[in-house]
Structure 1
């Protein structure tokens, strides 16, 4: 492979880097009245990246750039899905930012750079490139959380996120250094081969695994490393919360696949038990604490924690069906979360944030259509058939039963029943309570259209689950 062809599998990342820089440079010289061009350029950058991805997709898995980068079917799937999610996030954010005098190119530039970090994490074949992608994404997200400079709550959330993120990253790097000392390599393929040759109960490997898992669990928001999640979800402006709750979750899934499955797969027996503890704690704390929340963004934060528990169940199964279920659940959750946060943006307006559960009172009287969209999303998150969330939960529970961990499936069902309460509470407020206000919903036609499609997609993929299941079949 010549020097130029080594970069071909990373064409999308290269294009995205130049596109983000272009948006940044153009935005510097744009007058405020033409700021919308930064938005259009950002969307064009995402669309162009997706086209480059499709055009340069390798027929077989390719490891390049001295073993630091891998292009395979999993990376292709997650990157294309990331492009779709980021484009929807940018669209949802436009009117929200404009109404609050926050319509600046920085949001879109930071979003594109965070997307670049996600791409690098997805295709990482080395602990070093994984760390590089993690930092690119994390630093962008720290700045996005503090995007509203006039909000003390946003500044506080950004500081908490930064400090706790730095601690988690330190743990990840410390574990990586021990892993390098034991295996003599940072290449995930080589780490897997040498871990196979070593005793799976080697104390040094177990210590390395423990520290690395702290970093992975933090990025995922699994209990007990979830402390940052509710504060960041509440403190950040809703478009940023939407980005963290959707695109960043795809990066977390990629991180856990690359580190645990590709790199430390021979230690499955060890990390599966650790993930089992994290999964049960996440489902328990997420579902129980969410019941006490009156802020819907905090409620969705704890809901995210509970969903993370289900994703971890799929990964710990350690089988092809388990890995496919984990990917399926993540993609399903991202679709549902995008619609949920999109509804919050729809109900918000200048000077008013629809963050309290009470703000959803009587929504059916104000807009029967969007009340129905929110109902579909809430029922799907609760796991009500025949919606998307039901099949996501079913596939994960079937995977853990298949490997003989029936008690985990029982725990998942029990906590799902508990979690149904706070989802149904939102439905009750929308349909059975009198509205607090009768003002019509004010939103652009593009937001209304995409949000409607987003909600209907939750219904359609539930009625026809094979559409998404066929996509996840690429996972091996």
Structure 2
């Protein structure tokens, strides 16, 4: 029997849903000149949701399962949620001046992002296959609408159509895989599915393994892993930068949460083939992502292929298949979310009406005209490349160590080789900023958003601070995933 106590673990989700619906109604009665109120209300909603998540469940020890097991609240989900809130808050701060300059500063942006965040939270706390899929689709549908928000932009519209078509295909594959898991085990409950799958023999076990393959394909698409990355470059380049910033950061945390629920809680340990599959996906992502990124001259497209390579690194942790491996993957996902928000914010910082600052050549001589921001971008590029002692180095070290612990020495060596190769295209951006002659287009408007400047600087400096003091965050990840 469901009681009111069953809804206490869902308090952050319930509040976010209620507050977003209230914000939707509020936006109807706010004049365009006072649209900034929606911005601050959205940030306040995120702050309250974070507080509710940090408070835990009064009088109840985590983990806890409620609503007949369809929702589970635990340390892993809460940790990923908190950093998803942070990435979303950074998105709001960075996107505001960009949207204002292009006539896109509308309540729909904030509402779609908050609904997408709600979908991510459901993915991170799913207790059944149905809830996991509902969360995934809420995130996906909101993301499609975000990419197409600028209806007068032909590139954005084309990107949204590609995203929708390929996303629908991937969702269908994932749903087909989940239906196979249900058909083989007779349950959608993730905890019961593990128990039922352990006893399967013959044709039922074969059906289960086919289902796992389709689940891996669906999750590979959501991460943007090769060879399921075909949507990523066109969507990242075609979408307005503010939208690219969001879909390129926080959803990676949600995809990790979904992968953890399905691979560890549902099919973990039943058959090791899914870990071998993840290892080969990681290898393919590392090779294709880094080699193709070298050839790019468009910064957004370069960052898109860079994302493919970073997904390869993240899969090193997932392929480990132990709590330590999931903790390393979580650290990498957190690191990448922060690096991605900062990298796309650098584009927004230099962009202005009629100049999108998307080409690498657009950053020529930035050190001579704006030395502080050139140094901040350098920190972000070096962290993405994995240069010590920045945060990206320790995140890469954690997942490579997880691959070695899993007996995947060949994959760890491949990751090291392509980490060195991948450093080339990040250093190219640094070379353009510090050693090329400045261009007249390279300037930051004096009236540029002050909040954007300060938050961007803090975001970049965090790569250095977290690099120097990364151990506490790693310990948090280990505790959250039950490895400590």
Paired residue for 1:90?
A: 92
Give the 5 Å matches for 1:411-426.
411-426=414-429
Aligned Cα RMSD in Å? 1.3
Paired residue for 1:126?
A: 128
**Any idea what the Cα deviations from partners look like across 1:367-387, whole Å, max 9, x if unmatched?**
111100111111111111111
Instruction: Give me the whole-angstrom Cα distance separating, in 2, the residues matched to 1:228 and 1:59.
Output: 41
1:462 to 464, 467, 481: 467
Contact in 1 for aligned 2:351/2:357 (Cα 8 Å):
yes
Q: CA deviation at 1:84?
A: 1.1
Instruction: Give me the whole-angstrom Cα distance separating, in 1, the residues matched to 2:55 and 2:392.
Output: 32
Paired residue for 2:280?
A: 277
Q: CA deviation at 1:77?
A: 0.5
**Any idea what the Cα deviations from partners look like across 1:135-166, whole Å, max 9, x if unmatched?**
11100000000011110110110001101111
Give the 5 Å matches for 1:205-224.
205-224=208-227
Instruction: Give me the whole-angstrom Cα distance separating, in 1, the residues matched to 2:193 and 2:390.
Output: 40
**TM-score, structure 1 normalization:** 0.98
Corresponding residue pairs, total: 476
Paired residue for 1:34?
A: 34
Instruction: Give me the whole-angstrom Cα distance separating, in 2, the residues matched to 1:457 and 1:59.
Output: 32
1:354 to 334, 353, 357: 357
Paired residue for 2:481?
A: 475
**Any idea what the Cα deviations from partners look like across 1:398-453, whole Å, max 9, x if unmatched?**
11111221101000011111111100000000000011126641221111111111
1:368 and 2:379 correspond: no
Q: Kindly tell me: are residues 233 and 200 of structure 1, through their superposed partners in 2, closer, same or farther at Cα, counting changes over 3 Å?
A: farther
Contact in 2 for aligned 1:200/1:266 (Cα 8 Å):
no
1:8 and 2:5 correspond: no
Instruction: Give me the whole-angstrom Cα distance separating, in 2, the residues matched to 1:445 and 1:194.
Output: 56
1:330 and 2:333 correspond: yes
Instruction: Give me the whole-angstrom Cα distance separating, in 2, the residues matched to 1:338 and 1:92.
Output: 9
Q: Kindly tell me: are residues 268 and 343 of structure 1, through their superposed partners in 2, closer, same or farther at Cα, counting changes over 3 Å?
A: farther
Contact in 2 for aligned 1:8/1:56 (Cα 8 Å):
no
SS in structure 1 opposite 2:402? helix
Contact in 2 for aligned 1:461/1:467 (Cα 8 Å):
no
Paired residue for 2:156?
A: 154
Give the 5 Å matches for 1:19-418.
19-57=19-57, 58-199=60-201, 202-418=205-421
Instruction: Give me the whole-angstrom Cα distance separating, in 2, the residues matched to 1:300 and 1:87.
Output: 21
- Which residues of structure 1 form unaligned runs of 5+? none
**Any idea what the Cα deviations from partners look like across 1:160-180, whole Å, max 9, x if unmatched?**
110111111111111111111
SS in structure 2 opposite 1:265? coil
**TM-score, structure 2 normalization:** 0.96
Instruction: Give me the whole-angstrom Cα distance separating, in 2, the residues matched to 1:332 and 1:324.
Output: 12
- Which residues of structure 2 form unaligned runs of 5+? none
Q: CA deviation at 1:338?
A: 1.0
Q: Kindly tell me: are residues 126 and 100 of structure 1, through their superposed partners in 2, closer, same or farther at Cα, counting changes over 3 Å?
A: same
Shift >4 Å, 4+ stretches? none
Contact in 2 for aligned 1:332/1:388 (Cα 8 Å):
yes
